[in-house]
Structure 1
């Protein structure tokens, strides 16, 4: 079965051995969207790895982020506040709805129902508006970022205009005229940087 067309999402090939209509063996062949995230994770802290996990399923990113923070919380016996747990559940369910809408819209278009396709994308935008309301959450000031030893995009998203490429002058980076991308402080700023 497969491979499906590379423009399709989440494709894989299944090498199936049949005996009549009975499946005797099935070997999944990954590679079309497989990025080796497990190997990347081996040399990263949880905070460093977090940006990678949203790429596992870019239609339902809250789920991949949730499992990545839930595991160390359980291992470290870290108790999160009840309010935080409720907020997570709300965001997870909104993410699930947005993901299902993004499946339903193109599916409807594939069977010839063009109008629902546009309505579905409109409804999905309402959910993303709620996600954007999370701006201002998780503010990390410049002094805190330095005290915590943050670097790279995390540091620049805290309002500190510092980048090793500019400061250390290695290779020929100092020959290029470029501006540091930085923002001030919250979760949205870290995403934008």
Structure 2
């Protein structure tokens, strides 16, 4: 069975998009507008030399996509904390809806869609997801309280190769879901609603 863990809404910390200059010393060294300038994606240090992550972000930030990435972590391969598996591969990224107003209330609905989607996939104990809604400010729009969402993808296995293969399966399933939802809501991007870019 593919597992999904949904965290309560995180109101203890927040994210500003684009990042404020004062955050540069906190590890977020530079904000890339990956939707407006997809050519910058290979330059993001967290995904450099990781073609599978670059490809995923390029598709997520495609002009007709309903979604956009706002930050990500480095891909990590390490020992597994889950019983029955020796190795783990995982990656964490944050996404938002490109249409600004969708970020006010659309994330819980997306979590429900994600859960229903996973139920249609072949069972696997080696793939795990975590979703967490993050309090987010959209600074270019003077919006101080809205949301984005963290998505963590985990792959488990007895070897590094097995864990990475499981992770790549999970990543592909997420890519397919984002593509499906973007197609479903594609007309919304043509209505002239305010967008993050």
TM-score, with structure 2 as normaliser: 0.29
Which is bigger in relative contact order (C-alpha 8 A, separation at least 6)? 2
Q: Which has the larger share of strand?
A: 2
Hey, which of these two has a bigger chunk of helix by percent? 1
TM-score (norm 1): 0.30
Q: Report the structure number with the largest CA radius of gyration.
A: 1
